[in-house]
């Protein structure tokens, strides 16, 4: 399965699909964890602030006497409470609430009815941005841009007059530390997780495709066996038909029927040979003779051999060699000859009378480019994706008239890819087509020949 291009491409697509799906699920899970952590932190802070604010609120309301004036009893309750616009020294507090505020990083403020700070307590030494206080939970910032989650409660004096507000705040530093750790874990863990997911996806896709590949091998083997078994009866039938046609006394109608049978048997013989050859090539059962092959000579010989076919169809066959030196590639010259021959023959057969078919050889980035151009009937866009498939015919009626087996382009692609090359097609309907073969080149054929002599590869 690893040597089959079709199955490798499908396996890669399955792997990417699996990895993408699992990656999206992982991303969603990470996002869910992110939001759950924020929500959990918010709830914890709300509960802690609510408890702290309730305890401080009840105590202060029992000692506050005049609006906006901090009573001495309140200072005794919160010794570290610092009045605004007054110097605050370091006071060692015995108050459990003051210790809790210092340890947990809470901030406490007493505000007047307009929202102006009267006194503060806590580690925050920066000015919080004031606005009209509300009774809802709220996020505010200080002059450095640090965020705080706040809870505000109204304060009243002993005689139930409006004193101002008590505001308790918790810095987002704890949450930011948690989120930083989470983001670091995700940043470092995600690539590792994707590698593991990719490996697992590759293994799972291979496991899923194994039965399919086994069935494909069975079909491929059946094709080889069927084509091989057909060769003998077709050969016998062909000989029998030829012998009958060679007889001196054959009725005119019988001769006509025998000629039809002869053409069909010949067509079936070509089809069986091509199918057997293609199946063996794709199954790596036909080793390539790896030797230097001169592409200049190859295209010149093809132009000379196919010129009569072009003339018979009133086609102008042209050869353009756009390099001054000889271009060599490593491979089997006979099979490359067949591949390019299939392309040129197709171009001639699908080009109208007085059309032009050109063969062009050039060197681009150390690769030999053989382009076969025609101004024939062209190929529709929907057919371009399938043009190299077995038995695919763009125009079934026209293809039957040309006598093709429907395997020519499939054979050409298999040969080119076996030589580590590629083949592409560009076409416009009713304007013509360009088949481009790209092959790696070798600049020192004499050295290559000595290195690779008697060394065929499969």
Question: Which of 24-28, 206-210, 256-260, 266-270 has the least mean pLDDT?
Answer: 266-270
Residue 212 has pLDDT above 70, yes or no: yes
Q: How many beta carbons lie within 10 A of that of residue 432, not counting itself?
A: 21
The mean pLDDT value for 372-392 works out to 85
* DSSP string for 10-27: HHHHHHHHHHHHHHHHHH
In this structure, are residues 388 and 347 in contact, taking their beta carbons and an 8 Å threshold? Answer: no
CATH 3.30.565.10 residue ranges for the chain: 291-452
Q: Which of 191-195, 228-232, 263-267, 410-414 has the lowest mean pLDDT?
A: 228-232
Name residue, tokens 């690779």: 452
More confident of the two residues 201 and 213: 201
Residue 456: band (very low, low, confident or very high) from pLDDT cuts 50, 70, 90 = very low
Percent of the chain with pLDDT over 70: 78
CATH architecture classification, 200-282: Orthogonal Bundle (1.10)
Positions of CATH 3.30.450 in the chain = 5-178
Q: Quick: pLDDT tens for 409-440.
A: 888 888 898 888 999 999 988 889 999 999 99
CA distance 353 to 347: 12
Q: 423 phi and psi, to 5 degrees?
A: -140, 130
Fold of 291-452: Heat Shock Protein 90 (3.30.565)
pLDDT over 90, % of the chain: 16
pLDDT at residue 358 in the model: 94
- What is the structure's pLDDT at 228? 64
- Where do the H-state alpha helices sit in 350-444? 381-384, 396-402, 408-418
- CB of 408 closer than 8 Å to CB of 372: no
* 321-336 pLDDT, tens digit each: 998 889 999 988 888 9
Range(s) for CATH 1.10.287 in the chain? 200-282
Please, are residues 381 and 325 in contact by the beta-carbon 8 Å criterion?
Answer: no
Residue 319 CA to residue 340 CA, distance in Å, equals 13
Structure tokens at 249: 């006394």
Phi-psi bin for 75: left (phi > 0), alpha (psi -120 to 50), beta? alpha
User: How many Å apart are CA 349 and CA 403, to the nearest integer?
Assistant: 10
Residue with the larger pLDDT of the pair 100 and 160:
160
Greater confidence, 325 or 134? 325
In this predicted model, which residue has the larger pLDDT, 387 or 266? 387
In the prediction, which pLDDT does 9 show? 79
**Which residues, at least 6 apart from 200, have a Cβ–Cβ distance to it below 8 Å?**
18
pLDDT for residue 454 is more than 60: no
Q: What is the pLDDT of residue 271?
A: 72
What is the mean pLDDT of the segment spanning 172-195?
A: 80
- The enclosing H or E element of 149 equals strand 147-156
Highest mean pLDDT among 218-232, 341-355, 378-392: 341-355
Strand pairing of 147-156 and 162-171?
A: antiparallel
Q: In a 10 Å sphere around its CB, with 0-12 CB exposed, 13-18 middle and 19+ buried, how is residue 326 labelled?
A: middle
Q: How many CB atoms lie within 10 A of CB 428?
A: 12
Bridge partners, 165 (sequence order): 111, 154
d(CA 393, CA 386): 9
pLDDT at site 304: 92
Indicate the burial class of 25 (C-beta count within 10 angstroms; 0-12, 13-18, 19 or more).
Answer: exposed
If you average pLDDT over each of 195-204, 227-236, 290-299, which comes out highest? 290-299
How high is the mean pLDDT of the chain? 79
pLDDT bin (cut points 50, 70, 90) of residue 362 is very high
How far is Cα 129 from Cα 366, in angstroms, rounded to an integer? Answer: 69
- Quick one: pLDDT at residue 452? 46
How deeply is 30 buried, as exposed, middle or buried, from its count of CB atoms within 10 A (0-12, 13-18, 19+)? middle
Is 93 a residue whose pLDDT tops 50?
yes
Q: Tell me the range of 218-232, 317-331, 435-449 where mean pLDDT is highest.
A: 317-331
The neighbour count for residue 45, using CB atoms within 10 Å, is 22
Closest CA to 401 of 417, 434, 432, 377: 377
pLDDT at 457: 44
Cα separations in angstroms, 405 against 189, 266, 342, 346: 55, 11, 11, 12
Flag whether pLDDT at 249 surpasses 80.
no
pLDDT score of 24: 86
Q: So what's the pLDDT on residue 198?
A: 84
Q: Is 171:75 a contact under the CB 8 Å cutoff?
A: no
- Cβ 442 vs Cβ 330: under 8 Å: yes
264-321 pLDDT, tens digit each: 777 777 677 777 777 776 666 666 778 899 999 999 999 999 999 999 989 999 999 9
By mean pLDDT, which of 61-75, 80-94, 278-292, 440-454 is the weakest?
440-454
Check if CATH label 1.10.150 holds for domain 5-178.
no
Whether 444 shows a pLDDT value over 80: the answer reads no
Contact 390, 409 (CB under 8 A): no
Structural contact between residues 125 and 146, judged by C-beta atoms closer than 8 angstroms: no
Which residues, including other chains, have CB under 8 Å from residue 206's CB and lie 6 or more apart? 1, 11
Q: Predicted confidence band at 78 (pLDDT cuts at 50, 70, 90)?
A: confident
């Amino acid at each position: 399965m690893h040597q089959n291009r079709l199955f490798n491409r499908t396996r890669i697509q399955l792997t990417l699909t699996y990895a993408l799906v699992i990656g999206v699920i992982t991303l969603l899970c990470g996002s869910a964890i992110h939001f759950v952590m924020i929500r959990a932190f918010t709830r914890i802070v709300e509960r802690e602030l609510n408890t702290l604010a309730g305890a401080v609120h009840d105590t202060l309301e029992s000692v506050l006497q005049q609006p906006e004036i901090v009573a001495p009893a309140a200072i005794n309750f919160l010794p570290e409470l610092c009045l605004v616009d007054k110097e605050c020294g370091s006071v060692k507090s015995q108050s459990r609430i003051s210790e809790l505020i210092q340890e947990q990083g809470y901030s406490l403020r007493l505000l007047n009815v307009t929202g102006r700070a009267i006194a503060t307590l806590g580690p925050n030494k920066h000015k919080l941005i004031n606005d009209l206080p509300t009774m809802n939970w709220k996020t505010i910032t200080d002059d450095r841009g640090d965020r705080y989650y706040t809870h505000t409660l109204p304060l009243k004096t002993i005689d139930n007059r409006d004193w101002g507000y008590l505001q308790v705040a918790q810095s987002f530093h704890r949450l930011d530390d948690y989120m930083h750790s989470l983001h670091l874990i995700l940043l470092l863990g995600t690539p590792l997780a994707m590698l593991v997911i990719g490996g697992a996806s590759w293994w799972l896709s291979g496991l899923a495709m194994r039965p399919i590949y086994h069935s494909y091998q069975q079909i491929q083997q059946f094709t080889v066996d069927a084509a091989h078994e057909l060769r003998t009866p077709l050969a016998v039938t062909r000989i029998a038909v030829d012998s009958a046609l060679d007889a001196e006394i054959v009725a005119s109608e019988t001769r006509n029927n025998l000629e039809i049978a002869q053409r069909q048997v010949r067509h079936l013989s070509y089809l069986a040979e091509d199918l057997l050859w293609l199946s063996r090539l794709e199954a790596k059962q036909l080793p390539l003779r790896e030797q230097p092959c001169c592409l200049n000579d190859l295209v010149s010989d093809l132009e000379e051999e196919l010129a009569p076919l072009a003339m018979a169809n009133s086609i102008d066959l042209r050869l353009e060699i756009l390099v001054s030196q000889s271009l060599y590639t490593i491979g089997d010259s006979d099979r490359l000859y067949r591949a390019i021959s299939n392309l040129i023959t197709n171009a001639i057969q699908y080009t109208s009378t007085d059309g032009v078919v050109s063969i062009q050889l050039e060197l681009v980035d150390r690769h030999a480019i053989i382009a076969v151009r025609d101004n024939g009937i062209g190929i529709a866009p929907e057919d371009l994706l399938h043009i190299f498939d077995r038995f695919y015919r763009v125009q079934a009626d026209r293809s039957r008239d040309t006598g093709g087996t429907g395997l020519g382009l499939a054979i050409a692609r298999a040969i080119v890819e076996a030589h580590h090359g590629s083949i592409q097609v560009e076409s416009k309907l009713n304007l013509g087509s360009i088949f481009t073969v790209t092959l790696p080149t070798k600049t020192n054929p004499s050295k290559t020949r000595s290195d690779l002599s008697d060394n065929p590869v499969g």
